[in-house]
Amino acid sequence: MTDDRYRIAMAHQACEVADLAGQAVSVTDPDRALAQALEVVKAAHTLLDAALAYSRHPHRSFALDHPAEAAEDIADWLATWSGCRGPSTGHAHGGGRGPSPSTHS
């Protein structure tokens, strides 16, 4: 049986990728667009690591170390995002619950 923490870690990182990609939609400066795209790629790489961990082996991440907070972040993200239209309110992992999950991989 697969540990649900790995699935939560993967979902949490997927939210981070979506947040960063959503922010790229409104970028008008070419240099900033490149920087934002690089952030999306870094987060996507971490998502891939989390997916591999979910399927194969242990991987430490923010969500594995703080599963309750990660689950809450995911619920917040799902409540604020509607498809590709972007956030209707604040950032998914705001509210002082800690730094972005991509900094904890």
Residue 87 φ/ψ region, left for φ over 0, alpha for ψ in the -120 to 50 degree band, beta for the rest:
beta
C-alpha closest to that of 25 among 80, 100, 95, 86: 86
* Per-residue tokens: 38: 């690089």
* pLDDT at position 1: 43
Q: How many domains does the chain fold into?
A: 1
Q: Please tell me the pTM assigned to this model.
A: 0.55
Q: Which of 17-26, 55-64, 65-74 has the lowest mean pLDDT?
A: 55-64
When pLDDT is cut at 50, 70 and 90, the band that residue 58 belongs to is low
**Domain hosting residue 71, numbered range:** 4-104
- Which residues have CB under 8 Å from 70's CB, separation 6+? 8, 9, 12, 62, 63, 101
